[in-house]
Amino acid sequence: RLVLFTTKAADSYLDFSYRREDILLFGRESAGVTAEIVAAADARLAIPIRPGSRSSSSSAAWPSRSGSPKSASRWPKRSICAA
């Protein structure tokens, strides 16, 4: 399934039942994704940000492969790419 994270989503990422084969997609901070990608997504999820903040950096939010905390080992071992 294609799982899109977007500011325009109504459903929280915390309430979603993820599957191992899900593809997580994050758009560009400046432009998001195209309407075609939004329509093609199997799920559209929101990650809340602090009031007064302009955005949340997805590159800083996800654990890295080197020096990552133990919880990062639960993440799928495949690339995450932004549109």
Q: pLDDT tens for residues 44-83? A: 998 877 777 666 555 555 555 555 444 545 545 554 555 4
SS3 assignment, position 21: coil
- pLDDT for residue 52: 72
| Confidence grade of residue 25 (pLDDT, cut at 50, 70, 90) | very high
Burial degree of 22 (CB within 10 A; 0-12, 13-18, 19+): middle
Q: Report the predicted TM-score, pTM, of the whole model to 2 decimal places.
A: 0.63
Task: Give, as one character, the DSSP assignment of residue 78.
Answer: S
Residue 24 has pLDDT above 90, yes or no: yes
Q: How far apart are CA 10 and CA 45, in angstroms?
A: 7
